[in-house]
Structure 1
Amino acid sequence: MPFKSALIVGAGSGLSASLAKLMLKDGMQVALAARSTTKLKEFADLTGARTFECDAAQVYDVEKLFGDLDAARLTPDVVVYNPSYRVRGPLLELDPAEVEKTLAITAFGGFLVAQQAVQRMLPKGEGALLFTGASASVKGYAQSAPFAMGKFALRGLAQSLARELGPQGIHVAHFVIDGGIRSTRRPPDPDKPDAMLDPDAIAETYMQTLKQPRSAWSFEVELRPWVEKF
């Protein structure tokens, strides 16, 4: 593993936890950021990962997060952006405030986090930014306009940053998670084995991408169960 310290923003018990476990196993320091760290306490106690409260859509919160990481000597050379928020419904019934919140958390927060991370990566000429996308990153489903807007914007941000920052030594990658992720709230159907994405398997792909030599970097990786239509 070429990197030593990672920050996962929008951390929770699913993909983020799987990814944190693999990073810790590879000897990395891991910081987890979420709007509420209460749900992360048990995982942090078990693994030693550090937790930080942060609303990724708020400028002050993101600036404070990176300042706190610097002070704790946890300045990340890998940053994973996982937060998203969605509101569904017919166009004429959507609450503008909820649409604004969707865009702020799903996309604007990605910009804020990337800006702070890159400020610290550029002087070293290395680092990695990983953005978690969804089916909605490439397909705008009916009655899901806000989420499509947010995920399309996040993908656009990632594309732009990859072209700007790749030649400066920073690996930017976007992951299209095309399907439902298995969890305790969404258990697999025994009649359809492996019909949902295993968070541990997704995390393995993130780690493989991080370990790519710069002569063969991936920008976009699509992950879906073998039965998923696309």
Structure 2
Amino acid sequence: MPQDLKTALIVGAGVGLSGSLARKLSALGWQVALAARNTGKLDPLVSETGSRSFACDAANAEDTARLFSAVQSAFGVPDLVVYNASGRVRGPLIDLTPAEVERALAVTAFGGFLVGQQAARLMLGRGSGVILFTGASASVKGYAQSAPFAMGKFALRGLAQSMARELGPQGIHVAHIVIDGGIRSAVRSVPGDRLDSLLDPDAIADSYLHLVAQPRSAWTHEIELRPWTERF
């Protein structure tokens, strides 16, 4: 892990994948900022890792600008920014509520743009940094009764591709990670007869850290992570 990378901001933080990332980064000596609309759920993780939480609605431009200003004041320009936020609305297409779909798209896609823009503005001044976007199976496959999630994740993937091509030559590593499968959690346990049916969040976090450590002569711009039981 490069020794000059020391500050991480995880937006849309929760206790699953974000928790694994926070623990691993903190163990490596990083300062970790966790942003979420509801920061109360992060209190145990903050206590455990020594990280700091910030309240933010990532789909709100003013909120996002305040978040980056606060993180910069507390820690300096972040070296790593991870966008984990997403919105999901399920149901038959003809029954979906437009306002709920609009909100889901705002969180998944527009929020990714806002966070990516703020991160890029700060990182370009230094000429280095890593921006990672968390995708899903829906980034590449639109499932029945899940149109809003697919719409948002497809857009996020397009954003990541565009940013990678624009910012890579300027020293900013942008990558998109397709999480193709469910993630193991306290409320989503692994069936005893299917131990590998869900992704281990610690294993996912290891792949994120690998991306962060890559030399620019061999950057990855997209990876897919799935348990071997998941069908392609």
> Following TM superposition, by how much is the alpha carbon of 1:43 offset from its aligned partner in structure 2, in angstroms?
1.1
| One-letter amino acid of the counterpart of residue 95, structure 1 | T
| One-letter amino acid of the counterpart of residue 24, structure 1 | S
Is 2:64 the partner of 1:62?
yes
8 Å CA contact retained: 2:89, 2:100? yes
- Aligned partner of 1:229 in structure 2 is 231
Q: What is the TM-score when the length of structure 2 is the normalising length?
A: 0.98
SS in 2 for 1:185: coil
* 1:32-181 map, 5 Å: 32-181=34-183
- Aligned partner of 1:184 in structure 2 is 186
| One-letter amino acid of the counterpart of residue 147, structure 1 | F
Aligned equivalents of 2:75 and 2:93: distance in 1? 46
> Following TM superposition, by how much is the alpha carbon of 1:70 offset from its aligned partner in structure 2, in angstroms?
1.8
> Following TM superposition, by how much is the alpha carbon of 1:193 offset from its aligned partner in structure 2, in angstroms?
1.0
- Aligned partner of 1:195 in structure 2 is 197
Aligned equivalents of 1:196 and 1:131: distance in 2? 20
User: What percentage of residue pairs aligned between the two structures are identical?
Assistant: 66
Shifted more, 166-175 versus 71-80: the winner is 71-80
The size of the alignment, in residue pairs, is 230
Aligned equivalents of 1:150 and 1:223: distance in 2? 19
Aligned equivalents of 1:106 and 1:24: distance in 2? 26
Q: What is the TM-score when the length of structure 1 is the normalising length?
A: 0.98
Gaps of 5+ in 1: none
- Aligned partner of 1:30 in structure 2 is 32
Aligned equivalents of 1:47 and 1:156: distance in 2? 33
> Following TM superposition, by how much is the alpha carbon of 1:75 offset from its aligned partner in structure 2, in angstroms?
2.6
Deviations for 1:34-84, whole angstroms, at most 9, x for unmatched residues? 001101111111211011000000011101101111221343111000001
SS in 1 for 2:130: strand
| One-letter amino acid of the counterpart of residue 131, structure 1 | F
8 Å CA contact retained: 2:7, 2:75? no
8 Å CA contact retained: 1:31, 1:74? no
Aligned equivalents of 1:8 and 1:170: distance in 2? 17
Aligned equivalents of 2:75 and 2:18: distance in 1? 21
| One-letter amino acid of the counterpart of residue 86, structure 2 | S
Shifted more, 162-171 versus 38-47: the winner is 38-47
Aligned equivalents of 1:47 and 1:222: distance in 2? 28
Gaps of 5+ in 2: none
Deviations for 1:180-206, whole angstroms, at most 9, x for unmatched residues? 000011100001111100000000000
Aligned equivalents of 2:49 and 2:203: distance in 1? 20
